[in-house]
A = this chain, B = another copy of it.
Amino acid sequence: MSMYEFFPFMDGEGADLRDLFIRRCQYKTIIKKGDNVRLYPQRHAFLNKGLLKIYMSNAAGNERLMWYIQEINPIPYNCSFGKRVVAEIDSEILYIKREDYLDHIISSRGNLETYIERVNKRYFFCMQQVLNENIYSCNTKIYSFIYQLANVLGKKIENGQIVIKNLPSRKDIASIVGTHRSNVTRYITELEKIGIVEKRKGLIIVKDLKALEQLIDQQEFND
């Protein structure tokens, strides 16, 4: 894969926590597609089923899509971050008391190490975003995001083709890679012209993942 590491998906990290959240569950709720997930200062939340998007804002109120949380994952707890959590598909959330969560972590050195690893993974991703922001060109970022979508959310069909249902909106793609919406349209159309993807209503088919990967590797830096 390319030197551009862009993997805004939290996936399957929370298997070790699922038991805890089911056992100590205070409150369980279904969030409909497009609705916000409520976060509470004294509770930790867990995505048991579905897919969530995390938006963050800076002090000036500019909001940006930062990442996706896949099912079987704790929802990062940082109420102060100007964060908005939105269901990308219907999603099931479990809540436990914050004390139960903390007590679980301090119950063993291993649990703490798992917790640290999980936090560092997010922190590492965030750091990479800073380091890569002005280095990679806009099309590299868009191609890489589609490549990751295919790997993470895509379903294989015949001839090694991959279908991505629920393709994120152009607005969301622009937000997560840090570009304008018009660039998203432009570069996806380019991928279509050279036969790497095919757009259909609400979905995209990646016809040649290997060619997409090679294209990303050939991209030049922005500088």
Residues on A facing B (Cβ under 8 Å): 3-5, 56-60, 62, 64, 66, 78, 80-81, 99, 102-103, 105-109, 111-113, 119-120, 122-124, 126-135, 178, 221
Contacts and interface: CB of A to CB of B under 8 A. Distances in A.
Total identical chains = 2
Contact of A102 (B81, B113, B132, B135): B113
Given A105-B106, A113-B102, A58 B135 contact: yes
Contact of A133 (B109, B120, B124, B134): B134
Given A60-B135, A106-B112, A78 B126 contact: no
A130 B124 contact: no
Nearest to A64: B131
Contacts of A105: 106, 112
A33 B186 CA distance: 50
Nearest to A123: B123
Contacts of A57: 131
Contacts of A127: 56, 66, 81, 126
A62 B123 contact: no
Nearest to A60: B3
Given A106-B106, A109-B106, A126-B126, A131 B56 contact: yes
